[in-house]
Amino acid sequence: MIIDRIENSGLYLNLGNRIARAFNYINSTDFSKTEPGKYEIDSDNIFAVVNEYETKDIKDCALEAHRKYIDIQYMYSGAELIGVAPLVNQTPVKEYSEEKDCVFFNEETSLVKMTGGMFAIFFPGDLHMPGVKADGPSKVKKIVVKVRI
């Protein structure tokens, strides 16, 4: 996983053309005018999901991993904690959903605070639990760009 500020996104363009296109989308889009929803960038190879939600108690959040997509999670506004852990040999609590490209776990995590202007890249070997309230409930606007491996 990678956690950084969006102004440093140029450091990661060499991770591949799809990652570069995803960052180009993030850096060239005015998210103050972008409504929640799904936005196609390159068919099902790269697409963005714009989310607005209230953060929750950690007990109400889910720890997940993906197999077909890399997540680039860009925090446009607000703040949240994201639980993170490496995927080693943990046992899923729910079987992998091919349709949703998601598998869920119930493991301990380390918490990282994400604030506006930060992003995280989660690869298939990275467990992540977004949406955890940081300093009380907070409304966030976050863009998740899904990049097919």
Nearest to 54 by CA among 143, 142, 127, 116: 142
* C-alpha to C-alpha distance for 55 and 78, rounded to whole angstroms: 9
Average pLDDT, the chain: 97
Nearest to 118 by CA among 73, 85, 86, 82: 73
pTM for this entry: 0.95
The residues, any chain, with a CB within 8 Å of residue 26's CB and separated by 6 or more, are 6, 9, 48, 72, 74, 119, 143, 145
DSSP 50-103: EEEEE-B-GGG--EEE-SSEEEEEEEEESEEEEEEEE-SSPPPSEEEETTTTEE
Q: Which class is domain 2-148?
A: mainly beta
Give the 3-state secondary structure of residue 105: strand
The domains of the chain are located at 2-148
Instruction: Specify the amino acid at residue 6.
Output: I
Residue % of the chain over a pLDDT of 70: 100
The answer, yes or no, to whether residue 9 has pLDDT greater than 90, is: yes
13-69 pLDDT per residue, tens: 999 999 999 999 999 999 999 999 999 999 999 999 999 999 999 999 999 999 999
Retrieve residue 69's tokens. 């997509």
**Whole-number Cα distances in Å, 7 to 23, 24, 84, 141:** 10, 12, 22, 18
Q: Are 38 and 49 in contact (CB under 8 A)?
A: yes
CA angle at 58 for the pair 2 and 49, rounded to the nearest 5°: 50
